[in-house]
Amino acid sequence: MIEPNAEDGGGRYRSFAAFYPFYLTEHRNRASRRLHVVGTCLVIVALVAGVLVDGRFFIAAPLVGYGFAWVGHFVFEKNRPATFRYPLYSLAGDFRLWFEVVTGRRPF
């Protein structure tokens, strides 16, 4: 496991840049990464639909995003999602992973 860049000795990351390598170690399984990317795509679709179609789609956004991601963690990675300890960094990691995949910088 990568040692966290602790701010207070409690194992908290000081920055997203320090967190992201840890995030990637928690997403080694290809099926899990794919589920994360699909879930993030559906989140984007739900957000756009929330703006253009009906605000109720905003409710669906976190449900589909976390639903797909957590299946990846619990079924394929066999680990606990970082969302529980690092919710904002984890969300940022999901979008960065998605961006890296759709731009071809990381394999799908």
Q: What is the pLDDT along the chain (108 residues), one digit of tens a residue?
A: 444 454 445 678 999 999 999 999 999 999 999 999 999 999 999 999 999 999 999 999 999 999 999 999 999 999 999 999 999 999 999 999 999 999 999 998
**46, two tokens:** 């739900």
Report which of 48, 42, 31 is spatially closest to residue 65, judged by C-alpha positions: 42
Q: What is the pLDDT of residue 10?
A: 65
Annotate 5-17 with b (16+ C-beta within 10 A) or e (fewer): eeeeeeeebeeee
